[in-house]
Structure 1
Amino acid sequence: MWQRIWAIFHARTLEGIRDRSSLAWNILFPLALLVGFSLFFSGRGQVQYQIGVIGKQVETPVWQDLWQMPYLSFDHYSDAKTAQLHLARHQLDLLVDPSHQRYWVNPKSPKSMMAEKVLQGLVHQPLSRAQLASRPIRYIDWFLPGVLGMNVMFSGLWGVGYSIVRYRKNGVLKRLSATPVQPIEFLLAQVLSRLVLMMVVTVVLFVAATTLLHLTMRGNLVLLFGIFTLGGASMISLGLLIASRSQSEELTSGLVNLISWPMMFLSQVWFSLEGAPHWLKWVADLLPLTQIIRSARQEMLYGTMTSHDWLGLVYVIAFTSVCLIVGAWRFRWR
């Protein structure tokens, strides 16, 4: 059994390495995105201020002008510590507690200091002031885990799902069906081969990006790449599920695009869903890529994994297992 798996794994890996144009594209395109966004978003950023509110909005004349002010977005928190942590991490520009007449600023954030001036101009009442500070996190630092996750997604869905459909259409699977190779052996070899190549590309991208752009890395590298390995396995398993019965490259291409593009925009690759509606956040949390990118950002930028992040990884493991089992069960050679 293991000799057959090794033979298929070796052949598939050589095929991936010899496809130099695809391999170069997987490295150069994400790296170009990182460099481009580093240049594009190095300016002043958005005009809108993100303000956290602890508890409910107090509907009094003192605070009414603030709530009605355009270009301000409000996020409500029931836990003060969570809100303060978001302010310290530059996810909020200002934090207010209307019930206790106080607010917090981050002195290391220019937007926080400007948001304080807006608050003082709209709320004509003495408020208690406090400061929370941490090392600034640039957009490019926040963007890197999203790019790596996006690259893992496309590599897993297209590299495995599309290849298997091509094998079926070209008659390769038909010839393999006459050998002692079992479907589970063939699929396992495909998963391992693509996963190895995927992680090599991820390591090269990470080293190049952190070296060229001096990006932040505060967590454990082994855990970080373990997260991306799990993400790669989940995307590969999803690709296998799509390709388990499909005989048309056009249909497979459409299904992969139908899954990958919404996942790319909802999984916070490009932008945060901090101020998005709750139903949209709930939909995004169902996507495995969301859990992978969120956990990778948490480990890379802050060096700590919360219980919510660990639960997300458990969900990804369950998602991967279900896709692999169903994909192997539905798989047909012909």
Structure 2
Amino acid sequence: MSRRALHPLGHLVLARIRMFYRQPEAVFWTYGFPLVMITALGLAFREEPKTTILVDVVGPQAEAFQTRLAKDSRFKVVRPAESDWKKRLQSGKTNLVVETGASPTEPPQFWDEPRRADSLFAREAVENVLLHELVPERPAIAEKHLDEVGSRYIDFLLPGMIGMNLMGGGMWGIGFVVVDMRVRKLLKRLLATPMRRSDFLLSVMLARLIFTLFDMIFLITFGYLAFGVRCSGSLLELSLVMAIGGTSFAGIGLLVASRAQTIDAISGLMNLIMLPMWIASGVFFSAERFPEVFQPIVQALPLTCLNNALRGVMLDGDSIVTQWRPLLALVAWGVVSFTVSLRIFRWK
């Protein structure tokens, strides 16, 4: 197809793509920064080796009690000075302190930190060892550990990062660009051309969607190669979910930029809209952690809908039919936002 035969919308999209790749800093923030962030978080929350239980033993029978616990490889037993064990427990250098009695028959005292889960776990583990010594014939309980796809934190994190980048690409990548063009009087010049307004707005959205989808492919490939994150569902359906999410946030970004007159104004509006979703929409932790009274609001947020659909396809192997509720909500957000922005968009 010749350039002359290409639809005006196509020319506008190509122009936006060329402008984007002439800005190295924009390329880095779109493609490089998400990789840096997912690498840092993936390393910080990587799988830990087998848990070691730190126990301090003090008192007259400390040596004998240390010998009893040393039979279990889970325990790392330390015999600190009598004046140090409280500080060690407070600072987290040990999980539990066992204060032994004056004689072997006197029961020990346990000192734990009830606000720390590892301290309570250590107390339970030591109690089980002592109980097994008292009742050696009790049946052993078999332990099985879940090690399936999607059970690690990085498996939970990657879909949230994809959703967050789709939101950032749609909001900042469109809202900021449009307002910048308005400030530099470029929109006023475009208004004097025979270009249709809807073609311009669609070109900004489509160009940004192309950049963002390439970014998502980058992230998914990197997550698989670096951390072994797999997609349990269909890659085609996952791509469709990302396209719907990217289009929805592109419409929201366009709506926010429709009336903003300065860079400061659009920056404030973007942060006002995005910050609650960063916190509440389940990017770094589950949105279910919020109280039940807030759940209707949390679940209605567009980023929550997108993250739920992404995790449903990637982790649970769901189809888009199963995830129709969050996807329908995303479509509604996008259609309403784009329709309103067409009506209220200010060119001057």
TM-score normalised to structure 2 length:
0.69
> In the TM superposition, what is the alpha-carbon distance from 1:19 to its structure 2 partner?
1.5
CA displacement 1:74-117 (0-9 Å, x = unmatched): xxxxxxxxxxxxxxxxxxxxxxxxxxxxxxxxxxxxx9xx79x6
Q: Assess, with a 3 A threshold, how the Cα gap between structure 1 residues 71 and 229 changes in structure 2: closer, same or farther.
A: farther
> In the TM superposition, what is the alpha-carbon distance from 1:171 to its structure 2 partner?
1.0
What secondary structure sits across from 1:217 in the alignment? coil
Output the amino acid matched with 1:295: A
> In the TM superposition, what is the alpha-carbon distance from 1:330 to its structure 2 partner?
0.5
Question: Could you tell me whether the CA contact under 8 Å between 2:47 and 2:152 is conserved in 1?
Answer: no
Among all aligned residue pairs of Structure 1 and Structure 2, give the percentage whose two residues are the same amino acid: 32
1:135 corresponds to which of 137, 141, 148:
148
In the alignment, which residue of structure 2 is the partner of 1:149? 163
- Where structure 1 has 5 or more consecutive residues not aligned to the other structure, the ranges are 48-69, 74-110, 122-128
For residues 319 and 116 of structure 2, the distance between their equivalents in structure 1, rounded to whole angstroms, comes to 30
What secondary structure sits across from 2:167 in the alignment? helix
1:26 matches 2:30: yes
> In the TM superposition, what is the alpha-carbon distance from 1:269 to its structure 2 partner?
0.5
Superposed counterparts of 1:115-264, under 5 Å: 135=148, 137-264=151-278
Output the amino acid matched with 1:185: D
What secondary structure sits across from 1:135 in the alignment? coil
What secondary structure sits across from 2:289 in the alignment? coil
Deviates more, 1:134-143 or 1:201-210: 134-143
Question: Could you tell me whether the CA contact under 8 Å between 2:233 and 2:319 is conserved in 1?
Answer: no
In the alignment, which residue of structure 2 is the partner of 1:42? 46
2:20 corresponds to which of 16, 34, 39:
16
CA RMSD of aligned residues (A): 3.0
Deviates more, 1:131-140 or 1:293-302: 131-140
For residues 281 and 134 of structure 1, the distance between their equivalents in structure 2, rounded to whole angstroms, comes to 30
> In the TM superposition, what is the alpha-carbon distance from 1:43 to its structure 2 partner?
5.5
TM-score normalised to structure 1 length:
0.72
For residues 324 and 248 of structure 1, the distance between their equivalents in structure 2, rounded to whole angstroms, comes to 21
In the alignment, which residue of structure 2 is the partner of 1:302? 316
Output the amino acid matched with 2:148: R
> In the TM superposition, what is the alpha-carbon distance from 1:188 to its structure 2 partner?
0.9
For residues 216 and 23 of structure 1, the distance between their equivalents in structure 2, rounded to whole angstroms, comes to 26
For residues 275 and 266 of structure 1, the distance between their equivalents in structure 2, rounded to whole angstroms, comes to 9
> In the TM superposition, what is the alpha-carbon distance from 1:307 to its structure 2 partner?
6.8
Question: Could you tell me whether the CA contact under 8 Å between 2:188 and 2:347 is conserved in 1?
Answer: yes
In the alignment, which residue of structure 2 is the partner of 1:7? 11
In the alignment, which residue of structure 2 is the partner of 1:104? none
* Count of aligned pairs: 265
> In the TM superposition, what is the alpha-carbon distance from 1:275 to its structure 2 partner?
3.3
Output the amino acid matched with 1:40: A
What secondary structure sits across from 2:7 in the alignment? helix
> In the TM superposition, what is the alpha-carbon distance from 1:42 to its structure 2 partner?
2.6
What secondary structure sits across from 1:246 in the alignment? coil
